[in-house]
């Protein structure tokens, strides 16, 4: 681990009172401002360094809070989107549920997509209608200028570079992370609409998962 990252983890954990206090996960507060070249290099290095479990060990989003607190590189990677969000890195992401498989054709997509996480109280970026059992969640491209589909219009900024339609399920799963249990919800059977936040702040429909 790099000394700078260990120092950041130490500061963060001291502020939180440990690996996780009152359900507050550890974070790297400087990660959202990290440049794309640094994060790309870190993603590639993390994938190369964690080939275990058939490659699933490189999926940073499966790490527990304690594992993140002990792994500064993984902590930095999961922190780039800021609070109440998680990044999906095509090079590191997996689809789980029966025939588990990594993100298909990651070279076609952007480096990272930020997905808003379940919240106990609805926000402008994530909401749950319990009557309809329906989630509406926002995502956006973390480094829009580095998106190979940046010149596409609207939802095609993601859809035209998704690589394979099954990859959408990985984004949908993150929008209902842990079936919403972290927010006191049960989203195991919920349908989902994903909306894409464009560079000008407007939102467009991306996909429905019924």
Phi, then psi, of 80 in degrees rounded to 5: -70, -20
Look-up of token digits 């900024």? 157
What separation, in Å, do the N-terminal and C-terminal C-alpha atoms of the chain show? 42
CA distances to 68, 140, 172 from 206, rounded to whole Å, are 30, 10, 11
Average pLDDT over residues 136-149: 97
Distance of CA 58 to the CA centre of its chain: 14
What pTM does this model have? 0.88
Query: Which pLDDT band holds residue 10 (cuts at 50, 70, 90)?
Result: very low
Indicate whether 7 pLDDT > 60: no
Query: Which pLDDT band holds residue 23 (cuts at 50, 70, 90)?
Result: low
Query: Which pLDDT band holds residue 25 (cuts at 50, 70, 90)?
Result: confident
Spatial distance between the Cα atoms of 87 and 37, rounded to a whole number of angstroms: 16
**pLDDT confidence of residue 22:** 43
Average pLDDT over residues 108-113: 97
Average pLDDT over residues 30-55: 97
Average pLDDT over residues 197-209: 96
Average pLDDT over residues 38-56: 97
């Amino acid at each position: 681990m790099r000394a700078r990252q260990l120092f950041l983890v130490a500061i963060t954990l001291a502020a939180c009172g440990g690996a996780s206090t009152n359900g507050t996960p550890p974070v790297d507060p400087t990660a959202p401002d990290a440049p794309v070249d640094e994060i790309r290099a870190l993603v590639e290095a993390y994938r190369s360094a964690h080939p275990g479990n058939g490659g699933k060990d490189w999926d940073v989003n499966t790490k527990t809070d304690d594992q993140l607190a002990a792994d500064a590189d993984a902590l930095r990677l999961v922190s780039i989107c800021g609070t109440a969000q998680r990044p999906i890195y095509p090079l590191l992401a997996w689809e789980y549920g029966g025939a588990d498989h990594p993100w298909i054709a990651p070279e076609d997509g952007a480096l990272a997509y930020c997905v808003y996480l379940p919240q106990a109280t609805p926000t402008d970026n994530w909401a749950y209608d319990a009557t309809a059992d329906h989630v509406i969640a926002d995502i956006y491209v973390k480094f829009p200028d580095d998106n190979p589909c940046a010149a596409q219009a609207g939802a095609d900024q993601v859809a035209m570079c998704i690589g394979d339609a099954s990859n959408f399920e990985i984004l949908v799963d993150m929008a209902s992370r842990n079936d919403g249990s972290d927010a006191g919800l049960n989203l195991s059977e919920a349908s989902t609409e994903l909306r894409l936040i464009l560079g000008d702040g407007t939102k467009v429909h991306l996909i429905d998962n019924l």
